[in-house]
Structure 1
Amino acid sequence: MSSCSSGSEEEDEGLDSYRKGGYHSVKIGDSFAGGRYIAQKKLGWGEFSTVWLAYDTQSSKYVALKIQKSAPQFAQAALHEIQVLSAITNGDPSNIKFVGHLVDHFKHAGPNGQHSCMVLEFLGDNLLRLIKYNRYKGLAMNKVREICKCILIALDYLHRELKLIHTDLKLENILLYSAIVPSKDPVKSGTPPILQRPMSEGTNPSFGLSINSSEKKLKQKARKAVARISERRGFVEGVGKGARCLDGIDLRCKVVDFGNACWESKPLAQEIQTRQYRAPEVILESGYSFPVDMWSFACIAFELATGEMMFTPTGGEGYTEDEDQLALMMELLGKIPRKMTARGARSKDYFNRYGDLKRIRRLKNLALDKLLVDKYTFAVTDAREFAAFLCPLLDFDPEKRPTAQQCLQHPWLNISS
């Protein structure tokens, strides 16, 4: 599993959370599970855990080692994720459903407490990294179709066979089978595994450097500033350059990160999904099921094809981010049906009795196919075909959205180009 599914590479988690109940301090060469897994390098981090590239001495393969914080609430979250991952893995013995698998799990005792650990199959870069590598340009439509098929097979398996809702589908949670650049892939590069702690290994839990806390924090701030500048510069520079050639890159991918997944019969939270991929029924609090994942999938497909997010709401003077997001949806997809605006617990906060937004009145409507032509220079035929695939997935009424199984039969997925 790549780093970006679990945290940010541009920033690090800092030292403050390396305490009782927090992260476990890991050094390169540390061993786990009785010496079976050897830490190679940190891949990433999240609010609940750090993720490390590790070498499995039993299978002679690289794996991703996810080490949870030790406080009880994090241990409980890990238990839920292990249960979900076990069901996913056991139901896919041939490993053909394009979902990340659980290899092993165990507990590890350290100075900050007992940590739940998950061993996951090691995968490559996430789809956001692919977009960045492609200079924020849209991928060729045949490549978008290839990726979409993998995601839909995964969703069909999760929804129809396991009755699981992912609830946080986004580019960062979909990983390619291998790294985009072969030299960065520990398997393709032929880099020998580290089997013991290097002699120069220091005391820092993240980087193996022995530096004081204040100096560490200053370096963190500097790295964050450089990352933000580089991100902006990379985007600006990418605008004037064409897309890269992606031929030779294995675009098969897997859906990962099931920490927020829930069974259809047991929803875990009312507010789900990352903002830009959030379905309208979640904003309105009118209940949710499998169609929320289909909405997120449509947003992902659009982003792959254009290099930009479909909806990027911002709060403004007199209105909230939620209201702006609803307005953006209505500009692209039309007015939300009255029955949808009437039944959500939050509907009265946003809509008047006529089904119009209370605080954002002037909307600039532009149909999806026209947007694809005017802004993203799609050919008219390509725009119409792609919009015909996406628009049903973006129906405001979740009951009318097609299932993943139905999407797999759509003509757009079988166009040869």
Structure 2
Amino acid sequence: MSLLCNYEPEEEDNEERFLLPNVETTEEVEWYTPGGFHPVHLGDTYDDGRYRIVHRLGAGGFATVWLARDEKEKKWVALKVILAEKSVSLGENSHIGYQAASSFSGESKLVAELRRFTIDGPNGHHLCLVLPVLGPSSSQLSSNFTCRLKPWLARRASYQAVKAVSAIHAHGLCHGDVTTANILFNLLDIDHLGEADIYRLFGSPVTDELQIESGEATGPEAPRYIVKALDFLSSTSNIIGSDVALIDFDQCFSMSSPPEKMLGTPAEFLAPEVAVGLPASPASDVWALGCCIFRLRSGEGPFSNYEVTSPVDLLRIVIQTLGDIPLEWQDTLWDYYGQPTKDPSKGKPLSKWEGERSLKDLVYRIWEQPEGNVVETGTGRPEYKAWDARDEEENKPFPPCFSDMVWKPTAVKVDNTYIFGYNDESLALLEAMPKIAEREAALLYDLLSKIFVYDPQKRPTASELLNHPWFQMDGQPD
């Protein structure tokens, strides 16, 4: 995320206070501090007892998100509890977007807010948004070796995401944070399910005590334990639908008044003009859509790797892919945090990364699921043996109920060896994997090469993207 927009504790609190929990966590635990996250526990109730916390759904850059039972209307909701320091500004922005979403949410795949309220806690005054419960994010289902979408679903989800952005643009607004984390799959109706049914489907919540480095007890500003997010793919019954919706209007803005500060969009989805400090626009939403489309189809972003953590990193990898940035951007200086600046005392000129990478090669090298999850090359390889039970679990395919939607790369064997990640040893395994079909690759490259251009005015609009033939490969998209 952009360092200009993310919440950070006060300077004296920057030293790590908490031990890393033993459960996978989706929030930054150091932000349990004044101005930061509100401590939430299972069984807590909010808004005069109306909403009861039952499980964890996840977290974003500015909020934690919980599965809650609406005891008044007897249905499930997602309760989004926003950072105290961001509750006022994000509340104003999100209200604009959610108002627009509520006017045409049915046909445009935009999620409308159900209601909102505020709470006071040990870390401050927090805005709470009540939202419909949705399933996993497209980021979770298109994540390198962990999970990949089936091609038809990647195209369908991409089309619906473009449709959602087109709708919000038609309302005179920009989303400002189009990422795969904000494109969520819908769920089948679950309101008839009770708490026991939720636990039967996904297991009881997994927790781990939150401990302080010094050994002292946590105070009221922090939860007693961290809750692992619910895993929708852990169930033997599939309640995930095939439609997606665009969520999170925290950075929404009117086209006529773009924000003065840089968007808090994760660097890998940031448009290059925004990275150099120019205003965001509908065209920057379209660039982000292009990043989402590639991620949904390939499992990784076109401009993402472990080194891309700031706007200057984004520019470096984009230059490797598209060539030099426009001349008028080249006087931009970059500060210690990788942010653009015009102040010579705070910044330095761009230092480029060596090497080139071709967008066409990235598209044509997208690897696919082999039939039966097996590739036989005739090459002698040592037989794979799991080191522990955790390895064995990683190599198990998803339950059969998900077989038409997703597949797990780490369940694929090339000769006697499971696919396991990027390193010198595994490159040969990936080379042996089947690749995207020539016809689809040509269409996808044509689409992305139109989106990934430096001049925002030369990018197609979201509405124009909807007519591209890549989306039509499975017939008329929904």
TM value normalised by structure 2: 0.63
Residue in structure 2 matched with residue 39 of structure 1 by the alignment: 53
Residue in structure 2 matched with residue 330 of structure 1 by the alignment: 319
Root-mean-square deviation (CA, aligned residues, Å) is 4.0
Residue in structure 2 matched with residue 30 of structure 1 by the alignment: 44
Does 10-19 or 56-65 show the bigger shift?
A: 10-19
Residue in structure 1 matched with residue 137 of structure 2 by the alignment: 126
Shift of 1:158: 1.0
User: Which of 253, 264, 270 is the aligned partner of 1:278?
Assistant: 270
Q: Does residue 1:165 correspond to 2:177, yes or no?
A: no
User: Which of 61, 65, 86 is the aligned partner of 2:79?
Assistant: 65
Structure 1's 345 and 285: CA in aligned 2 closer, same or farther, altered over 3 A? farther
CA distance, structure 2, for counterparts of residue 358 and residue 37 of structure 1: 50
Shift of 1:269: 4.2
Alignment of 1:69-218 (within 5 A): 69-70=83-84, 73-92=85-104, 95-132=106-143, 135-136=145-146, 139-161=149-171, 163-178=172-187, 191-192=195-196, 214=215
Structure 1's 35 and 297: CA in aligned 2 closer, same or farther, altered over 3 A? same
Shift of 1:14: 7.3
CA contact (8 A) 2:142 2:297 kept: no
Q: Output one character per residue of 1:259-282: Cα deviation in whole Å (capped at 9) or x when no partner.
A: 122221222243222111111111
Matched to 2:75, the amino acid is K
User: Which of 228, 231, 247 is the aligned partner of 1:256?
Assistant: 247
Shift of 1:323: 5.1
CA distance, structure 2, for counterparts of residue 388 and residue 16 of structure 1: 44
Matched to 1:278, the amino acid is L
Matched to 2:178, the amino acid is L
Matched to 2:25, the amino acid is E
Q: Output one character per residue of 1:160-198: Cα deviation in whole Å (capped at 9) or x when no partner.
A: 12x22222221111111129xxxxx9658654489xxxx
Residue in structure 2 matched with residue 288 of structure 1 by the alignment: 280
Q: Greater share of helix residues, 1 or 2?
A: 1
Q: Does residue 1:383 correspond to 2:369, yes or no?
A: no
CA distance, structure 1, for counterparts of residue 148 and residue 55 of structure 2: 32
Matched to 1:390, the amino acid is L
Residue in structure 2 matched with residue 298 of structure 1 by the alignment: 290
Structure 1's 136 and 158: CA in aligned 2 closer, same or farther, altered over 3 A? same
CA distance, structure 1, for counterparts of residue 208 and residue 148 of structure 2: 39
Residue in structure 2 matched with residue 4 of structure 1 by the alignment: none
Structure 1's 314 and 25: CA in aligned 2 closer, same or farther, altered over 3 A? closer
CA contact (8 A) 1:283 1:346 kept: no
CA contact (8 A) 1:43 1:52 kept: yes
Alignment of 1:217-366 (within 5 A): 250-272=241-263, 273-312=265-304, 322=311, 324-336=313-325, 340-343=326-329, 346=332, 359-360=351-352, 363-366=355-358
TM value normalised by structure 1: 0.71
Q: Does residue 1:408 correspond to 2:466, yes or no?
A: yes
SS in 1 for 2:116: strand
Q: Output one character per residue of 1:196-215: Cα deviation in whole Å (capped at 9) or x when no partner.
A: xxxxxxxxxx9596978738
CA distance, structure 2, for counterparts of residue 30 and residue 323 of structure 1: 42
CA contact (8 A) 2:141 2:148 kept: no
Structure 1's 216 and 393: CA in aligned 2 closer, same or farther, altered over 3 A? farther
Does 37-46 or 123-132 show the bigger shift?
A: 37-46
Q: Output one character per residue of 1:110-164: Cα deviation in whole Å (capped at 9) or x when no partner.
A: 45544322111111111121124x8456534322210011101110111112x22
CA contact (8 A) 1:40 1:55 kept: yes
SS in 2 for 1:416: coil
- For structure 1, the 5+ residue unaligned runs are 1-7, 180-184, 195-205, 228-246, 351-356
- For structure 2, the 5+ residue unaligned runs are 1-20, 199-205, 229-237, 341-348, 368-434
Matched to 1:398, the amino acid is P
Structure 1's 85 and 31: CA in aligned 2 closer, same or farther, altered over 3 A? farther
Q: Output one character per residue of 1:271-295: Cα deviation in whole Å (capped at 9) or x when no partner.
A: 2221111111112223331111111
CA contact (8 A) 1:313 1:324 kept: no
